[in-house]
Amino acid sequence: MALRLDAFVLGMVAVLVSGTSACSHRELREREIRDLVALVSVHEGDVAEEAIERLVPYGPLAITEIEAALPKASFTGQLNLVLALRRLGHPEAIPLLLHLAERNEFEPVRIESEVTLRMWARGTGPRAERARAALRALEEKQGRRDDG
């Protein structure tokens, strides 16, 4: 009986430790993404480029942090964040790119967001289909704006 209990206790300790380890790993990953997004949003040139490259493996996990950083970022920071979304290449970025193309205060950010959607729309597959749908919505909204 003692042997079974010891095995059970050891198993529970292993589960608790692995849960703590996974939590710490997740927190470290989130902190790294946040730090990289901050670099992209405040730096230019090689620093921003390196940070974007390091963000790419995180894929869609980086999109939420990019979205959170956009309102506080300078004009250049916002352009860098759009370029980061382009490099990530994930379809989950399409609603954010559409929003930026429609409403961003800086025309170059609007243009780069639309350019990204157009690049993706030329492809095939689900990302291209979603990008084409976003562009249709954008053109419809711009058409209404021009009419009214």
Q: What is the pLDDT of residue 25?
A: 87
Residue from 82, 87, 98, 94 nearest 58 by CA: 87
The helix/strand count (H/E) of the chain reads as 7, 0
Find out whether 66 and 37 touch, Cβ atoms under 8 Å.
Answer: yes
The C-alpha atoms of residue 12 and residue 24 are separated, in whole angstroms, by 18
Q: Answer whether 0.85 is exceeded by the pTM.
A: no
Domain span at 73: 2-147
CATH of the domain at 62: 1.25.40
pLDDT digits (tens, 9 = 90+) for 79-107: 999 999 999 999 999 999 999 999 999 99
**147: Cα separation from own chain's centroid:** 34
pLDDT digits (tens, 9 = 90+) for 10-66: 343 344 334 444 567 889 999 999 999 999 999 999 999 999 999 999 999 999 999
Number of domains in the chain: 1
